[in-house]
Amino acid sequence: MSPDRIDLAIMDALQRDGRMSNAALAEKVGLSQSACSRRLDILERSGMITGYHARISPTAMGNRMTAIVHISLSGQFEKTLSDFEAAVKRCPNVLSCHLMSGEYDYILRIAARDLQDYERIHKEWLTAMPHVTKINSSFALREVVDRTVVGVEVG
């Protein structure tokens, strides 16, 4: 599916305010409410819109530390990757995980309360994950940008 100008406007508006009512969205993009609702349903079913959620502040939940963790595995065989990915999905402190090219196989972003909590996560989770041969951790001093809006060019 290739989105048109109206689809892009719908996605742009919802990225900025996912709680926007259908009536407000329809008005913003210049459609009737029923036409807007149909388009939104198509965007959701096609996978262009993958969900809606509230952003919860990690700091408000007691996680004042962000660790960026580079992980090397023993190989890049399909089973090795799938075993690791299944394990990393179970760790509740992993905020994001990316398979990478280059020196490390994965980069993880981890939320922790403090250094002692990160040590616990490291011992109980990271070193216990299958096929891990190297872990390199860095700690964020300050968040500069954390975007949730994907650039959508509305023509």
Give yes or no for residue 2 having a pLDDT over 90. Answer: no
Nearest Cα to Cα of residue 72 among 94, 104, 109: 104
* Residues contacting 73, CB < 8 A, separation 6+: 80, 81, 84, 105, 106, 131, 132, 133
Q: What is the pLDDT of residue 148?
A: 81
Same domain, 75 and 117: yes
Residue 108: phi and psi, rounded to 5, are -115, 145
Whole-angstrom distance, CA of residue 70 vs CA of residue 137: 6
pLDDT digits (tens, 9 = 90+) for 58-116: 889 999 999 999 999 999 999 999 999 999 999 999 999 999 999 999 999 999 999 99
pLDDT digits (tens, 9 = 90+) for 40-61: 999 999 999 999 988 888 889 9
| Cβ pair 112, 65 in contact under 8 A | yes
| Residue 33: half-sphere exposure toward Cβ, Cα within 13 Å | 5
Q: What is the pLDDT of residue 105?
A: 98
With a pLDDT cut of 70, the percent of the chain lying above it is 98
Give yes or no for residue 124 having a pLDDT over 80. Answer: yes
Residue 150 covered by a domain: no
Residue 151 covered by a domain: no
Residue 86 covered by a domain: yes
| Cβ pair 137, 3 in contact under 8 A | no
Neighbour count for residue 17 (Cβ, 10 Å) = 11
Same domain, 38 and 87: no
Segments forming the whole domain that contains residue 38: 5-45
Structural domains counted in the chain: 2
pLDDT confidence bin for 146, thresholds 50/70/90: confident
Same domain, 70 and 41: no
Same domain, 40 and 69: no
Same domain, 20 and 72: no
CATH number of the domain residue 98 falls in:
3.30.70.920
